[in-house]
């Protein structure tokens, strides 16, 4: 029998916050593509369709008790691994990378699926193996193995940005679960060694991105062009910006990828520091609310599920914003609910659905 408390405890605050950010993103997308020659369905309309589909998916997720998902976590994880293997063998290649599966109505990126899968499977593990003194090095072999498999496959595509996101999500959940001090030291040293050794395993374009991050002016018309134009756009916005559809860097097509990776650069140029501060405040509230949902969760699985989803949103925000203002290398990470992209929007809305699910059932034991 349907419990009326589910309706009375529906998380309207979370949903409305996401819709406000997504609405600003769609308006920004309209502005970013205003100078494009008409042809086919405009991207802002496509984004509205993906948002609508994402909302339906999120609401559908709310109908199923999130605790049932615990039993399907490993199945979704295996499905994600299967899709990653498929994309390496038969996926669609674009600009030297094989990351997408063409489903006709959408180009599915399996790396997005694995983000949700890793959250579910790690939430299941950590909810069943609580350790009040923190996990030791030999107690985290299973989460480490479950993380290593998809990361290796994603790096083979290659897709450094998605691999980073999966690692950041998993590490955030592991740190929340708790680690012994010695384990932290060993993992820190191991991570440093892997980062140094990994330099030699990077593709040439990935090394170029890191060199560009360190010194973009060394090749202003080549590898440094993207970040230089992005910083010009952000800086030229000033305090209150140039106005809607008035950004010269975007409207004159100096700014590349302005509808995806550098969507925030368009927004900062048109709305300035004041507008950017409002958007950042909305994102900050979204992260705080996600942690609030986690704190009120009815059980440990819901707790780790909410922490994982919040970490996914948080790291996408941090990496994208750091990327567009030159604090981090350009790794192709979209801004949640803001950058154009069907798979990314649906993935984030699935995360929102999981958060609302945990929030709605906080009173059930």
Q: How far apart are CA 5 and CA 41, in angstroms?
A: 41
119-161 tens-digit pLDDT? 999 999 999 887 777 888 788 888 999 999 999 999 888 788 8
Q: Tell me: pLDDT of 1 over 60.
A: no
The single residue listed with the structure tokens 């060199």 is 211
Task: Give the residue from 231, 234, 122, 219 showing the smallest Cα distance to 167.
Answer: 122
What residue has token string 């929030």? Answer: 359
d(CA 262, CA 248): 14
Query: 205 in the Ramachandran plot: left (φ > 0), alpha (ψ -120 to 50) or beta?
Result: alpha
Per-residue pLDDT at 105 = 65
Per DSSP, the three-state class of 313 is helix
Distance CA 259, CA 245 (A): 13
User: What is the token pair recorded at 9?
Assistant: 């405890």
Q: What is the DSSP letter of 242?
A: S
* Band (180; pLDDT cuts 50, 70, 90): confident
Q: Residue 124: its pLDDT value, please?
A: 94
- Report the C-alpha gap between 45 and 29 in whole angstroms: 9
Torsion of CA 279, 280, 285, 287, to 10 degrees: 120
This prediction's pTM: 0.91
More confident residue, 331 or 6: 331
Lowest mean pLDDT among 38-42, 87-91, 227-231, 255-259: 38-42
pLDDT tens digits, 334-363: 999 999 988 899 999 999 999 999 999 887
Q: Which residues pair with 100 in a beta bridge?
A: 92
Pick from 62-76, 90-104, 326-340: least confident: 90-104
Q: Does 9 or 210 have the greater pLDDT score?
A: 9
Rounded Cα–Cα distance for residues 85 and 342 (Å) = 21
The pLDDT assigned to 222 comes to 67
What tokens were used for 236?
């030229």
pLDDT at 46 over 50: yes
Closest by CA position to 230, among listed 206, 260, 254, 259: 254
Where residue 326 falls (left for φ over 0; alpha for ψ -120 to 50; beta otherwise) is: left
* Other beta carbons within 10 Å of 96: 10
What percentage of the chain carries pLDDT values higher than 90? Answer: 49
Indicate if the pLDDT at residue 219 is higher than 70. no
């Amino acid at each position: 029998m349907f419990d009326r408390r589910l309706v009375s405890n529906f998380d309207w605050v979370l949903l409305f916050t996401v819709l406000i950010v997504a609405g600003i993103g769609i308006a920004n997308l309209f502005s970013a593509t205003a100078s494009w020659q008409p042809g086919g369905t405009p991207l802002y309309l496509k984004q509205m369709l993906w948002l609508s589909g994402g909302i339906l998916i999120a609401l559908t997720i709310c109908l199923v008790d999130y605790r049932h998902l615990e039993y399907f976590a490993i199945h979704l994880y295996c499905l994600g691994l299967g899709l990653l293997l498929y994309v390496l063998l038969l996926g669609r290649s674009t600009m030297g990378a094989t990351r997408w599966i063409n489903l006709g109505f959408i180009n599915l990126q399996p790396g997005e699926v694995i983000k949700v899968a890793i959250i579910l499977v790690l939430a299941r593990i950590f909810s069943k193996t609580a350790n009040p003194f923190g996990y030791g090095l030999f107690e985290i072999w299973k989460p480490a193995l479950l993380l290593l498999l998809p990361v290796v496959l994603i790096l083979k595509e290659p897709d450094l940005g998605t691999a980073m996101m999966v690692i950041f999500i998993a590490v955030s959940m592991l740190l929340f679960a708790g680690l012994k001090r010695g384990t932290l030291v060993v993992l820190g040293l191991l991570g440093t060694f892997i980062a140094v050794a990994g330099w030699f395993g990077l593709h040439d374009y990935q090394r170029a991105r890191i060199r560009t991050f360190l010194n973009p002016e060394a090749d202003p018309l080549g590898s440094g062009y993207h970040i230089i134009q992005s910083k010009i756009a952000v800086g030229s916005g000033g305090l209150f910006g140039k106005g809607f559809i008035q950004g010269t860097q975007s409207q004159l097509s100096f700014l590349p990828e302005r509808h995806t990776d550098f969507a925030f650069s368009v927004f900062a140029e048109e709305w300035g520091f004041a507008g950017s501060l409002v958007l950042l405040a909305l994102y900050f509230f979204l992260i705080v609310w996600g942690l609030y949902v986690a704190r009120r969760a009815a059980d440990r699985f819901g707790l780790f599920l909410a922490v994982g989803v919040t970490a996914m949103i948080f790291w996408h925000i941090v990496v994208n914003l750091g990327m567009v203002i030159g604090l981090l290398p350009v790794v192709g990470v979209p801004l949640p609910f803001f950058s154009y992209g069907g798979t990314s929007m649906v993935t984030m809305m699935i995360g929102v659905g999981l958060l609302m699910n945990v929030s709605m059932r906080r009173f059930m034991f």
